[in-house]
């Protein structure tokens, strides 16, 4: 699983600290310039903080010349609400024509169809409990079966990284990983020296917090 970072720090240095491939993630909040214009990249919409249509469209226009290198553009979404997110996706679909659009999955997605026929990717969003539950895990597996790119947001700990990597996600991002070398080094350490990283303190309130090892023997389904 590669990591996408919205950071001013050198991407190659970040990659060495993480021990995996790193690509750039652009957001309308930071408006960064490409570090490596020849490399693939992804684009988020900034909705987790606050979505602003003008900034989002400005970002798209800025990177239009490199559209062929874009892995996904996260369509505008409503955090924690699958139904409202689907409505936003339909509203923006025509305006995002020509881009590889990612549908952002949210709480309640298990009761609402994902527009697999029109999206190029899925982005695992939602609240923490939903993201780390069985419904989100099933979406990652479905994306593998259908052949769609799968990105996961808010991955900042070794436990989450190993969990989604084992599920088969293609990429992830995390604000902490974008900012702090010590958080990136924890990912590298966990990868090179596997341990039981899912402790209750890592993911409070989740059903698997102390059950899933990092050594490669993840269960195919988690108990509810």
Ranges of each domain in the chain: 2-21+75-192
Percent of the chain with pLDDT over 70: 86
Half-sphere exposure (CA, 13 Å, Cβ side) for 199?
Answer: 6
Task: Identify the CATH number of the domain defined by range 2-21+75-192.
Answer: 3.20.20
CA–CA dist 206, 214 (Å, integer): 16
Percent of the chain with pLDDT over 90: 83
pLDDT of amino acid 193: 78
pLDDT of amino acid 5: 98
Lowest mean pLDDT among 42-46, 62-66, 198-202: 198-202
Q: With a cut of 50, say whether residue 16 has pLDDT above it.
A: yes
- Report CA-CA distances (Å) from 211 to 165, 167, 184, 192, 195: 16, 15, 23, 20, 12
Q: With a cut of 70, say whether residue 214 has pLDDT above it.
A: no
pLDDT of amino acid 157: 97
Instruction: Determine the average pLDDT of the residues in 150-154.
Output: 97
Q: With a cut of 50, say whether residue 172 has pLDDT above it.
A: yes
pLDDT band at 79 (very low <50, low <70, confident <90, very high): very high
pLDDT of amino acid 47: 86
CA–CA dist 210, 90 (Å, integer): 39
pLDDT band at 58 (very low <50, low <70, confident <90, very high): very high
pLDDT band at 194 (very low <50, low <70, confident <90, very high): low
Distant-in-sequence contacts of 27-33, Cβ < 8 A, 24+ apart:
27/59, 28/52, 28/55, 28/56, 28/58, 28/59, 29/55, 30/6, 31/55, 31/58, 31/59, 31/62, 32/6, 32/7, 32/8
CA proximity to 131, closest of 157, 113, 92: 157
CA–CA dist 121, 18 (Å, integer): 24
Q: 102: helix, coil or strand?
A: strand
Provide the mean pLDDT of the chain. Answer: 89
């Amino acid at each position: 699983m590669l990591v996408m970072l919205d950071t001013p720090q050198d991407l190659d240095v970040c990659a060495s600290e993480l021990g995996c491939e790193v690509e750039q993630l652009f957001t309308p909040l930071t408006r960064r310039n490409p570090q490596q214009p020849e490399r693939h990249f992804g684009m988020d919409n900034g909705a987790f903080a606050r979505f602003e249509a003008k900034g989002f469209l400005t970002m798209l226009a800025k990177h239009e010349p490199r559209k062929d290198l874009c892995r996904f553009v996260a369509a505008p979404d409503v955090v924690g609400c699958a139904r409202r997110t689907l409505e936003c996706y339909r509203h923006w679909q025509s305006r995002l024509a020509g881009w590889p659009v990612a549908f952002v999955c949210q709480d309640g997605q298990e009761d609402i169809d994902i527009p697999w026929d029109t999206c190029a990717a899925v982005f695992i969003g939602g609240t923490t409990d939903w993201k780390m539950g069985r419904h989100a895990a099933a979406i990652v597996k479905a994306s593998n079966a259908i052949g769609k790119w799968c990105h996961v947001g808010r991955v900042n700990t070794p436990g989450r990284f190993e969990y989604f990597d084992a599920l088969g996600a293609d990429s992830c991002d995390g604000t902490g990983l974008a900012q702090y070398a010590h958080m990136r080094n924890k990912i590298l350490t966990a990868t090179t020296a596997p341990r039981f990283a899912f402790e209750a303190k890592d993911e409070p309130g989740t059903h698997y917090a102390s059950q899933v090892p990092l050594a490669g023997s993840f269960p195919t389904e988690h108990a509810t």
